[in-house]
Structure 1
Amino acid sequence: MFGSLGSFVYRMRYTVIAVLIALMGGLGLYGMDLPKHLSQSGWFDPNSESVAGSIVADAALGRDHKSDVILLVSPPDGTLVDDDAFNKKMQKIVDDLLAEYPDVVSREVDATHAGLISPFDAITNSADQAAADLKRERMWTADRKHGFISIGVAGNDDTTILNNYKKIEPFFDDLAGRYDLPGTQFELAGLQPIAGAMSRGMDADIHRAEIIALPVVALMLLFVFGGVVAAILPVFIGGLTIAGSLGITKLIAQTTELNIFAQSVITLIGLGIAIDYGLFMVSRFREELAEGYTVKAAVRRSVMTSGQTIVFSATIIVAALACLLMFPQAFLKSVAFGAIASVALAALLSVTVLPAILAILGRRVDALSVPFLKRTRTREEIEAGFWGKLATWVMKHPLKTAIPTVLLLLALIIPFGNIAFGGLSEKLLPPDNANRVAQEHFDKLFPTERTEELKLIVVYSQDDPDPAGKIQAIADAANKIPGFTKKFSPDASDGGSDGVYGDPETGLGVTQMSAGLVNRNTAAEAIKELRAIDDQGLRVYVAGTPALTQDSIDSLMARLPFMAILLVAVTGLLMFLAFGSIILPIKAALMTALGLGSTLGILTWIFIDGNGASIANFTPGPLFAAILVLIIAIIYGLSTDYEIFLLSRMVEARQNGASTTEAIRTGTAHTGGIITAAAAILVVVTGAFGLSDIVMMKYIAYGMIAALVLDATVIRMLLVPSVMKLLGDDCWWSPRWMQRLQQKIGLGETTLSDEPDQKEHTRYDQATVSSGGVVAAAEAPTTAMKSIRVETTKRRGPATPEPASVESTLDELIDDAPKATPVDTARKSSGPDTGSWRLGAGGVRMASQDLRPRPPQPRPTTGGQQPRQAQPQGAVSQPQPVISKPQPAVRPPLPRRPQQQPAAPARAAGPQRPTPQAPPPPPQAQPPQAPPAPAPQTQAPAAPQGPPHVQPTPDVVEDPAGTRSARQLRPDRGDEGNQISVQELLRRSRASRSDQD
């Protein structure tokens, strides 16, 4: 599938780029006004008792607007709020506000207006004196140094009310200067100013991420890739992802309510994930080019490997985010929709548009490179680098690495025991925010008028003989509960009731009583006690902001265990279908749980215990519960994402014949730098949100930073290799029935064989030395070996050979060969090397791995449980894994040419088709030599049939010229051993020519 996709993208690269870029551009233009279609609602559980009570009260008594906007007034020293001159100027301010915004603010309360309450109104007759005295008693302090005006804003939903507030907000700028009130302090408190400050903070966060994060990320990518062109590509994909996500989110907002917080998450998740995916794809493409593949092959192979991993990773993250849909809060659903759209688009663009651009650029992807930064490395160089050495060291000391790492993570989890949950409040704003300061000042001056009150909503039948007595009994029982700023009372004149309503059609009456809490932290206990009082046979709701918050926390905590089970089950199932192992998903879940627990412990230590609060400019307090759930989903998805990239490379190496130890080292070496760079990029993006004024964004940013640092370094690079080393081959285990299920479904990792016919040059040059009919062909050792740079010579003609030149050329070949490398213990444990030296006719030739016969196209295989293969003697630590590629075949020897035939150039590397001849009789004499030690014999599976022109080479190679007998193969003895064998072959060749002469 992905091979076809890669070929299609390469073939239709210009069309793919034009169509998808135009589509993303159109979606971006369509979604430019997305904030206008987002809601301020969705923070609470719509199925809770508090929401039901609020709906009943709003329908009967109208929405409570008295806390929408609070204008707190503090006259200068020597002036009191009841001074006549000051009162007249305050009346002027109120009159101008009503005149300029008649559609938003009004004194009357009706279906479209919320009403304005001012203690500064003039008293025109004695009948208004009692009401005016009551308002002044509530809205002026006892020392008459402070007062406030309650301004209700028109609207029946949070979004409309906030938008209307933004219309009148400029009116309150510089009131003291405009109305000649020097020294008078005006402060804006209330629900809408707080919501407006949060909205502005989120907009600033998005702007900061786009202005600051993008250039910094581009600079980091320049250091990663070493070139400007390669660095720009992931950032370009990130920009397209954000543009498309905004348009898709706006389309979703047309059918369902989406919270305004979704836009910030789109920028955070979409930008970070898209850049990470772009990084993985560009890195793999450059790696394939470094291996010598053509641009077409590199694009196809990159999509078949990294492209498939990207899509699978995106599926895991989407599955994790989809778990948020099981919660009733529209806030979490909004974030899920926006983030899912971002991740899906990031994956789509990374496997289509980005490969198409790479196909056009080709090797120009390294254009505008910085010389001292350019570093396109081959696979062998990568495995010999820092991350490969680190993995080797870790696997040499698995217990010494795993135990301290686990203890460190467990220690970081300990602060999580102090976790506490809260809701939305002005505490989410910075301590120096003007609206937060005003709200705290108002709560201190007027504790009985706090904007966050608990409400008792009583519904009774008008046919009840004594509803007033029952309501009073409920109020008396509620007043026995300590911790309230005033008494619950059904009498509106006491300030404890918001009104009484009777519906003649239904025969029901509604009474609402309210009181504020002295300490918000006691809300849970107070709500529990209120709901436990005798309802006197009436329907009683406990509502208000504290009840809304507590009910939301309870619903989140009730569903959180089910979310965790669903996360583990879904991601575990997908990982099993991909890798065919039941151990790997379990290990991944445990590792992710350790990382997630450590992250939550760090968040608790920072935001609840208050460590670093002064530096980060926030006030310690309870974590917003909904944000906690969001953090769990995001971090779990990202952690599993990095696990997928790491395990994919391990499985790829495993399927190519590596032992478990080799696979761990190879996977860690190839992904260590990329995962670290990807995590660093996400840290930069989230770090821009960490500078936010909104504590909710700090929660997410700091949580992601902590999780990324722990996951990409401590867990993936230390804990995973050590644990997998301790597990050994059990990493790949699963029951047989699960193996059959996985193989039947066919989901797995793509494993590519080498494609020498798709390379622009071979990595190992063919070395040919004329020696009068002796051919030595060396298969590439399984251990890493540097390229032997020997000038290729043409096959000599029938002229009399020149022993001196032959000797010189062969000595040059021997002297220039690389020195023996240390034995790879991981490979040694998997069995002996398969390289050997063979005899034939026509010259001395070293045949590398690129000379092995290969099918014209790669044969992808799917991962799964691999059956054990028979182990050769001496293989103790690891069983030899199944090699999915055919056993390498050595080029058959060519027949000797007649003396008069002119010299022909050497043929290209590849399988020959010799003319079979009858085997010759054995020679009369053999050069004296020590008998070679018998090689251990192992039973290997039969090599699969290749294309028609490929003839498998048997272990005994016959001499087609009939001049000498076939000789038994010897196992590869390393570089030194092979050099001695060449010298022996030279002596034998000369002796053979002497015998023939």
Structure 2
Amino acid sequence: MERIAGWSAVHRGKAIAGWFALVALTVAISSLVTGPDAPNTDPGESGRAQTVLREQAADEPVHEYVLVQAIAPARPDAALADLAASLRQRAEVTEVRTPADSGALVSADGRSSLVTFQLSGPDEQTPAQSAVAAETVEAVAARHPDVRVLQAGDRSLTRAVDEGIKSDLGRSHLLSLPITLLILVVVFGSLLAAGLPVLLTLSVVAATFALLGVIGKVVAFNSAGSAFVLLIGIAVGVDYSLFVLRRHREERRAGRDTAEALRVTARTSGRVVVFSGLTVVLCLTGLLFTGLGVFRGLTIGTALVVGLAMLGAVTVLPAMLSLLGDRVDALRLPWFGRGRTAARESRAWASIASAVVRRPLAWGGLATLALVLTAAPAVGMHLQDAAITQSLPREVPAVDAALRMGEAFPGMPTPARVVVWNGDPALGELRERVAASGGKLHEPVTATRVGDATVIRVPLAGTGTDPESMAALEYLRDEVLPATFDGKADYAVGGRTATPYDFTRRIAERSPYVFAFVLVLAFVLLALAFRSVAIALVSIVLNLLSIGAAYGVLTWVFQYGNLEGLLGFESYGGVVGWLPLFVFVLLFGLSMDYHIFILSRIRERFAPGRARSAIVSGIGASSGVVTSAAVIMIAVFAVFLTLTAIEYKMLGLGMATAIFIDATVVRGVLLPATLSLLGDRAWRNQKV
């Protein structure tokens, strides 16, 4: 690290120009690479259904549904006739069906009717055709204000999700960077010093998304992952810069010139940044054990942004500090800028650590008990993905339409999609078994030819992802379809219920491998870094405590429906299936930043027989940068709580809670208590 930082400081012009040339080159390459993005293939049976449909020469038609519901004392007849006539006049619409074509399109209570239609295609014209169809439905609704005319279906629900992601991504951009800059200005007391981490982070994020634009042509990258990569990039980019800047200030305050201060910074904080960055990247590779395409793209995106942030912090940032010299503290804030620009130990955290090391068993036991009690609700955690109607608020028109449609016609507008090939679809026999399912399966059952395959849509009981829907899916897969098609045709079930069902099962099957990989990797890396088995074991146990507490808070809030009004969500009785695994992997990587930084400071001060004084001094010296970094990370992940989708809110609360616990209870109490109990044994006689 010293050689790299030394070269950057001496050849600062080349280092700075080379960095920004690299960023410009990635952006230029991304703009030149065109073509469709790589599609994601779902796991299990739903993925097999996907693959069969992709192999067909024809595109699967887009299905849309319109609920026509009387508002007493009005009758829907005129609205129904108007809607059917208006849709049939549109060239973009085909296969219009009304209650006159099938009695299954009238609800059991007779109050509601369903009109179904398809877009004429092909796929590239779907957005324009969908817009025309939506305008037609809205025009009919305007002409009949005493009747509900609401649309939901394949395209309208997908568009609602896409628009929600786009809105959330824009909001995360809008909030995260200004909040980060404000915190940095307060931390450094200087506008110029605060601007350096922001400039570096912006360049890192720009290069990352440019590279993802190229990689996305061959590796599937979920658009929802963009918000994750952005906010993780901001968090680590600023944190790594903060580690370097604060250490550089300390060395300058100690009387070293700029060149020597940069060498010491590279030898200490630079090594911590590199080790932390590599730990995050390697921990994230554990997600690859799931074999899920969506995690593959997310892993690549997160690894890119973390790797580039690490590279920038040890190359271009030292070059900028060398160029600016003492001018890095220019543009101080008028009230407290002078105090902030000097790096000092924290008396508050040093006092807390001093109290803890005097009575480590009492303080450590109390903190452990508090975290165990906080984690207790996680014992009853129920993993369940959110249906679209549970992920997005009811204020979204397509969501409101889908909810009302599901009440009148169970299983609509997101039925199971049974793909049948190499045989007779046997629709009549299937309908008989649906009628005899005892309410697990519903009408209307429809069939559409797609090349050499047939797609049969079968509405399922439940909300789409709840236990009732999952039981209905299992009944369809395990009993109805084998009895109907075995020996006659090949089949596979996909759809908005089957996909999360298969996804969650894959995660449950592969999670033990991911957990084992991350734990063993973390142990080996920490043991090698600090040459102490005890330090490695303690670090892993403390991380598990903070993650367990975060799981407990997630369960208490989202599964049991606490703080709904404050956080703006409605509980559906579960936690998103992929979240615990993703939070575990990400937190194990990110929390190492603080942990390694603190342990490095303590080790610098350690001498035989003086373990306790080293603990107090090391925590006091590291508390300023760790507190600042934690506040930035918490603020960045708290942005997720302002986003629309409940999945984002869960991730934001889980990450912010774990980082808060890690930076306060773990760092301020548990770590000094444990190290105090170990004494000199933490640093000697436990070498690897």
Q: Same fold (TM over 0.5)?
A: yes
Offset of residue 14 of structure 1: 1.4
Give the TM-score normalised by structure 2: 0.89
Partners of 1:585 and 1:255 in 2: how far apart? 38
**Equivalent residue for 2:18?**
19
| Residues 468, 139 of structure 1: alpha-carbon distance in 2 compared, 3 angstrom cutoff | closer
Query: Does 2:275 correspond to 1:312?
Result: yes
**Mapping 1:522-533, distance limit 5 Å:** 522-533=468-479
Gaps of 5+ in 2: none
Equivalents in 1 of 2:438, 2:497: separation in Å?
16
- Which residue pairs with 1:709 in the alignment? 660
Aligned to 1:941: none
Query: Is the 1:176–1:184 Cα contact (8 Å) retained in structure 2?
Result: no
State the partner residue of 1:633: 585
Cα distance in 2 for partners of 1:213, 1:532 equals: 47
Matched residues in 1 for 2:108 and 2:432: separation?
A: 28
Residue number among 514, 526, 541 corresponding to 2:458 in the alignment = 514
2-side partners of 1:346 and 1:153: how far apart? 47
Q: Secondary structure at the match of 1:71?
A: strand
Residue 29 to residue 678, structure 1, CA distance change in 2 (3 Å): farther
For residue 667 of structure 1, report the CA deviation from its aligned partner. Answer: 2.0
Distance 1:558 1:138, change over 3 A: same
Q: 1:610·1:619 contact (CA, 8 Å) conserved in 2?
A: yes
Q: Does 1:591 align with 2:542?
A: yes
Note the 1:495-506 alignment, pairs <5 A. 495-496=444-445, 498=447
CA distance in 1, matches of 2:596, 2:59: 51
How far apart, CA to CA, are the structure 1 residues paired with 2:107 and 2:32? 43
* Amino acid aligned to 2:150: E
Shift of 1:372: 2.4
In 1: Cα distance, 2:596 partner to 2:33 partner: 34
Distance 1:75 1:482, change over 3 A: closer
* 2:613 corresponds to 1:620: no
Q: Deviations over 1:232-263 (max 9, x none)?
A: 11111111111111111112112222111221
Aligned pairs (5 A) from 1:115-154: 116-119=95-98, 133-135=100-102, 137-138=104-105, 143=110, 146-152=113-119, 154=121
1:201·1:693 contact (CA, 8 Å) conserved in 2?
yes
Displacement after TM superposition at 1:485 (Å) = 4.0
Counterpart residue identity of residue 627, structure 2:
T
Does 2:349 align with 1:418?
Answer: no
Report SS of the residue matched to 1:188: strand
Question: Would the aligned equivalents of 2:185 and 2:194 in 1 still touch at CA under 8 Å?
Answer: yes
Q: Taking structure 1 as reference, are residues 475 and 586 closer, same or farther at Cα in structure 2, changes over 3 Å only? A: farther
Q: Relative to total residues, which structure has the larger helix share, 1 or 2? A: 2
Q: CA deviation at 1:170?
A: 7.0
Q: Distance in 2 between matches of 1:163 and 1:30?
A: 28
1:216 aligns with 2:179: yes
Runs (5+) with no aligned partner, structure 1? 99-104, 108-115, 120-131, 488-494, 504-508, 739-997
Distance in 2, Cα, partners of 1:35 & 1:225? 43
2:377 and 2:556 in contact (8 A); partners too? yes
Q: What is the CA-CA distance between 1:38 and the residue it aligns to?
A: 5.5
Matches within 5 A, 1:315-394: 315-370=278-333, 371-375=335-339, 382=345, 385-394=347-356
Instruction: Name the residue aligned to 1:822.
Output: none
Q: What aligned pairs does 1:756-775 form with structure 2 within 5 A after superposition?
A: none
Q: What residue in structure 1 maps to residue 597 of structure 2? A: 645
Tell me how large the CA RMSD over aligned residues is. 3.4
Aligned residue for 1:516, secondary structure, equals: coil
In structure 2, the residue matched to 1:935 is none
Q: Tell me which of 212, 220, 234 is aligned to 1:249.
A: 212
TM-aligned CA distance change 1:170 to 1:485, over 3 Å: closer
Question: In 1, Cα distance between the equivalents of 2:355 and 2:619?
Answer: 12
Give the superposition deviation at 1:351: 1.1
Counterpart residue type for residue 52 of structure 1: R
Which segment drifts farther, 223-232 or 398-407?
Answer: 223-232
CA distance in 2, matches of 1:23, 1:166: 41
Q: TM-score, normalised by structure 1?
A: 0.63
What does 1:545-584 correspond to in 2, within 5 Å? 545-584=496-535
CA drift at 1:211: 2.2
- Partner of 1:117: helix, strand, or coil? strand
Contact 2:8 2:315 in 1 (8 A): yes
Q: 1:342 and 1:409 mapped to 2: Cα distance?
A: 31
Contact 2:414 2:495 in 1 (8 A): yes
| Deviation for aligned residue 1:460 | 6.7
User: 1:37 and 1:282 mapped to 2: Cα distance?
Assistant: 42
Q: CA deviation at 1:596?
A: 0.8
Distance in 1 separating the partners of 2:73 and 2:223: 45
In structure 2, do the counterparts of structure 1 residues 455 and 4 end up closer, same or farther at CA, with 3 Å as the change threshold? closer
Which of 650, 656, 672 in structure 2 is aligned with 1:699? 650
Output the CA distance in 2 between the equivalents of 1:218 and 1:75.
Answer: 54
SS of 2:393's equivalent in the other structure is coil
Residues 431 and 618, structure 1, Cα contact 8 Å, conserved in 2: no
Matched, 1:71 2:33: no
1:175 aligned to 2:126? Answer: no
% identical equivalent positions: 23
Query: In the alignment, is the contact (CA less than 8 A) between 1:496 and 1:515 conserved in 2?
Result: yes
Aligned to 2:259: 296
Q: Distance in 1 between matches of 2:426 and 2:345?
A: 82
Q: Secondary structure at the match of 1:134?
A: coil
> What CA deviation, in whole Å up to 9, does each residue of 1:615-673 have, x standing for no partner?
2221212222123322222112112222111112122223x778322322222112222
1:486 to 425, 437, 442: 442
Structure 2 equivalent of residue 286 of structure 1: 249
**Cα 1:457–1:227 shift into 2, 3 Å:** closer
- Paired AA for residue 316 in structure 1: T
The one-letter amino acid of 1:117's match is: V
Q: Highest Rg: 1 or 2?
A: 1
Displacement after TM superposition at 1:552 (Å)? 1.4
Instruction: Flag the 1:422–1:162 CA change in 2: closer, same or farther, 3 A.
Output: farther
Q: Secondary structure at the match of 2:256?
A: coil
CA distance in structure 2 between the aligned counterparts of 1:360 and 1:649, rounded to whole angstroms = 27
Where relative contact order (Cα < 8 A, 6+ residues apart) is larger, the structure is 2
Tell me by how many angstroms 1:32 deviates: 7.7
Aligned-residue offset at 1:496 = 3.5
Distance 1:200 1:703 in 2: 24
**Matching of residue 51 in structure 1 with residue 47 in structure 2:** yes
Q: Over residues 754-800 of structure 1, what are the superposed CA-to-partner deviations in whole Å (9 max), with x where a residue is unaligned?
A: xxxxxxxxxxxxxxxxxxxxxxxxxxxxxxxxxxxxxxxxxxxxxxx
Change (3 A) 1:501 1:452: closer
Are the counterparts in 1 of residues 188 and 194 from structure 2 also a CA contact under 8 Å?
A: yes
- Output one character per residue of 1:311-345: Cα deviation in whole Å (capped at 9) or x when no partner: 11000000111111222222211211111111011
Taking the aligned partners of 2:395 and 2:383, their CA distance within structure 1 comes to 23
Residue identity matched to 1:620: S
8 Å contact kept, 1:6–1:299: yes
Q: Does 1:409 align with 2:376?
A: no
SS in 1 for 2:22: helix
Counterparts of 1:308 and 1:615, CA distance in 2: 41
For the Cα contact (< 8 Å) 2:601–2:622, is it kept in 1?
yes
